[in-house]
Amino acid sequence: MKEFTLRPDPDDPRLTRRVPGIDQEGKPIETAVVVERPLTLFLNGQEIVTMMTIGDHPDYLAVGYLLNQNMLRADDEITAIDYDEELETVVVRTRRRTDFEKKLRKKTLTSGCAQGTAFGDLMEKFEEVRLPADAILRTSWLYALSKKINTAPSLYLAAGAIHGCVLCEQDRPLLYMEDVGRHNAIDKIAGYMHRHAVPPEGKIFYTTGRLTSEMVIKTVQMRIPILISRSGFTAWGVDLARKAGLTLIGRAKGKRFIALSGEERIVFDGDRAAVEEEGRRSRRKASVEEDAA
């Protein structure tokens, strides 16, 4: 895959709108704000969940959500995906009959923004996954990825109030998805990988949001051995990463980063002296929102 096979389109008029207001000096201004809308997901004839999302790539979001919730099997045959923008619904149809009435009763609110939900059996496959021990992360790749991702056109830079997730290979960002919740962004990538048969081998996952338990669980279930964030960690996220053997790197800004799990995969080949410290531009535009989200 080439760099940025798929990435955000900040010029898409459906995703932001201009809103008037005033600034700190009382002067009139107009700024871009992200549009969020509900999307109700059905699996065959059963309503599964209503998500708040920016509305792009509903098909990938739906499939990725079902995969990461263990409602869709990797070998399931998807016969149709029907999206109705007016009704704000997406229906995934499979050849296998499905019934998740019991599972839906065990709904758990997660720490993700935009009312992310997980279910009681979210970790049912977590302990079965064996991540490749021979995967590596070169610090030269990490520095290159941070620069490419943080300077790429995005809704984050245009309007803030949003999270991004990027599937990478070595120093190349491949798929870049954004949404109001980091869980939606990672589900979109999972859905794309499934629909286009993109293998997890040799891949690296990058996110702008916190390294929470949900982000760790989903990355492990996607069988990606390395997870990087420019934000911080939660204790349970670290514990789960260590249990799964996931390389977990946070606070990756400029030449700095912290690894709290899977350090043995890191190859220190990058020239730190040649890496610029992150300036006030780039993603710092919305750093307060990011750290609080």
Block mean pLDDT (10 aa), the chain, length 293:
92 94 96 95 94 96 94 94 97 92 61 48 77 96 95 89 95 97 94 97 95 94 96 96 97 95 96 80 44 43
Instruction: Report strand pairing: 256-261 vs 247-253.
Output: antiparallel
Distance (Å, whole) CA 89 – CA 94: 16
Q: Report the 10 Å Cβ neighbour count for 128.
A: 8
pLDDT, residue 117, reads 52
Supply 250's token pair: 């946070």
pLDDT, residue 32, reads 93
Q: What are phi and psi of 266, to 5 degrees?
A: -85, 130
Domain map (residue ranges) of the chain: 137-292
Question: What is the Cα gyration radius of the chain?
Answer: 19
Note if the pTM is more than 0.85. Answer: yes
- For every residue of the chain, which 3-state class applies, written as one string? CCCCCECCCCCCCCCEEEEEEECCCCCEEEEEEECCEEEEEEECCEEEEEEEECCCCHHHHHHHHHHHCCCCCCCCCEEEEEEECCCCEEEEEECCCCCCHHHHCCEEECCCCCCCEEECCCCCCHHHCCCCCCCCEEHHHHHHHHHHHHHCCCHHHHHCCCEEEEEEECCEEEEEEEECCHHHHHHHHHHHHHHCCCCCCCEEEEECCCECHHHHHHHHHCCCCEEEECCCECHHHHHHHHHHCCEEEEEEECCEEEEEECHHHEECCCCHHHCCCCCCCHHHHHHHHHHHC
Distance (Å, whole) CA 18 – CA 237: 37
Q: Which fold has domain 137-292?
A: Cytidine Deaminase; domain 2 (3.40.140)
pLDDT, residue 121, reads 53
